Amino acid sequence: MAPPRWLRWLLGGLLLLAVGTALFYRDRVDPAAVEAWIQGTGGLAPLLFLTLYTIGAVLFLPGSVLTLAGGALFGPVLGTIVNLAGATIGATLAFLIARYLASDWAAEHTGGRLERLKQGVESEGWRFVAFTRLVPIFPYNLLNYALGLTRIPLLSYVIATLVCMAPGAVAYTYLGYVGREAATGAEDLIRKGLLGLALLALAAFLPRLVARLRQRSMLEVDEIHQRLEAGDDLLVVDVRTPEEFTGPLGHIPGAVNLPVDELPRRLDELSGATDRPVALLCKADRRSAKAADLLARNGFSDVHMVRGGMTAWNEADLPIERVSSSAATEGKGQ
């Protein structure tokens, strides 16, 4: 159940106050005194620093500075473990705070290109998280909250964050261990190494994201029906199995049946439709999302998904057919 509006406003206000206070006093804190205090706690020092790192991530304190401090305090091995744990826990906490306070608001108020961007990010899921963690130009603190506004699964977010922040954590922890003064050249080398890793991630990921962004937002079944009734040049592609196509739910009159598992090797059957509006549907909308990704990556410029698929179509009591799939697939790509 969604939290009451007043509670979200109250918690959001308290969070902003805490962030503002942390940023205001950030330059007034003596790092040497803090390090001496942590070292004075003995065996509790790693746990104390992990807690401070987690809180710092939530309050927008710079993660690179904290990571350097962890290396200086605990060395390259323990420092990396503590830093990576603190960064991951802090990132997860910020993610959950954003999801609790504002994800519903974001879902209701995003539209147009921003909505398409959000859908593209959500469709990529852990891949987008991995990409942004590997690319050093994305601000760590802001990204934690921004991703919480999406529907990316928590477990995927946590695992991708942990794994893909590890290279940077190892590098900056070691830099903190050897000392900034003794490693001014090493910092530049580390940045160049991470940038190279980021470019590899960019080359692998960017085509997928571009393909996602080329997709259009979902269409409702009523709109599909109206466009077909009006004679719109809309190609309806049903990506269910032939058995489902002719089964109890039936199919939309005039729909083309191309099962999603067969779609990669049957794309030539749609070669004449790359510039036509294409509506994809399945039983709900899961398989149609996979098909939309494939079509967008193969040059189809106007791809849509039908929200709720044939389930929603039947619930709306719209016309259906249950003829053989071979008859319905005549004229594919025309």
Q: Which amino acid is at 226?
A: Q
Sorted by sequence, the CB contacts under 8 Å of residue 310 that are 6+ apart come out as 238, 240, 244, 249, 250, 251, 252, 281, 282, 283, 320
Gap between the Cα atoms of 49 and 34, Å rounded: 10
CA 8, CA 204: separation in Å to the nearest integer? 38
In angstroms and rounded to an integer, the radius of gyration of the C-alpha atoms of the chain is 25
Residue 60 Rama label (left phi>0; alpha psi -120 to 50; beta): left
Structure tokens at 262: 């067969």
How do strand 256-257 and strand 235-238 relate by DSSP bridges?
A: parallel
Sheet containing strand 303-305, strands side by side = 256-257, 235-238, 278-281, 303-305
Catalytic residue check, 282: yes
Active-site residue among 278, 282, 306, 328? 282
Tokens 């790693």 belong to: 46
Phi, psi of 35 (to 5 degrees): -65, -40
State the Cα torsion 22-98-144-307 to the nearest 10°.
-160
User: Which residues are annotated as catalytic?
Assistant: 282
